[in-house]
Structure 1
């Protein structure tokens, strides 16, 4: 499984490099106030990808961390419940040896 994961990331990196090499052309981006920025196309594409990906990835990691903490707290609670010793069970023979309380 680790091999497939590594292969996936290597293929993705090769595709990104090939895309960047074939599209390394300057692009003009018009901003507010008549400001024009000239940037390379792959930089804009990868930047737009990161702007969309990073907040979503951060949200995913935060929710996963929060759920992991909840699971751990539930596991600790279950471990505490299992650690409590149950009350001894009296068998009929043991119950007959117990003396009744004295009445006055």
Structure 2
């Protein structure tokens, strides 16, 4: 893509140079305001007009690209934080060993241990 961009800029430069050499002898008067007249050559007027149109749009384009790059990097950082494994500060301990005399554990379907009979 970079080579295409370079070729286009070189072709534009060649066209401007050819236009400048062909029209350099023509002097024109540009009336800016009443009483202010600018005597210039046609190629200078064309180049200045091109720059007046190009520079604001180029600056706007660069600003949009800068803002989008910042937004993308912020989203990538947020995604990386969410995707990273969580590290808990609590140590992992092994389960306590089951004693042979211990009462039977609660059934998985009924996690609450039954109360002993109150008849006595």
Which TM bucket (shorter chain)?
0.7 to 0.9
Deviation at 1:84, TM superposition (A): 3.1
Q: Flag the structure with larger Rg.
A: 2
Deviations 1:51-83 (A, max 9, x none): 111011101100110011000000000001111
> Aligned with 1:39: secondary structure?
strand
> Aligned with 2:64: secondary structure?
helix
Judged with a 3 Å threshold, the aligned counterparts in structure 2 of structure 1 residues 6 and 33 are, in CA distance, closer, same or farther, namely closer
Point out the more displaced range, 58-67 or 8-17: 8-17
Q: How many residues align?
A: 92
CA–CA separation in structure 1 for the residues paired with 2:51 and 2:58: 10
TM-score normalised by L of structure 2 = 0.65
- Map 1:43-54 to 2 at 5 A: 43-54=44-55
- Map 1:50-65 to 2 at 5 A: 50-65=51-66
Question: Structure 2: any 5+ residue segments left out of the alignment?
Answer: 89-94, 99-104, 107-112, 114-120
Question: Structure 1: any 5+ residue segments left out of the alignment?
Answer: 88-93
Deviations 1:21-73 (A, max 9, x none): 11112111123232222101111111011111101110110011001100000
CA–CA separation in structure 2 for the residues paired with 1:31 and 1:4: 38
Greater relative CO, 1 or 2 (CA 8 Å, sep 6+): 1
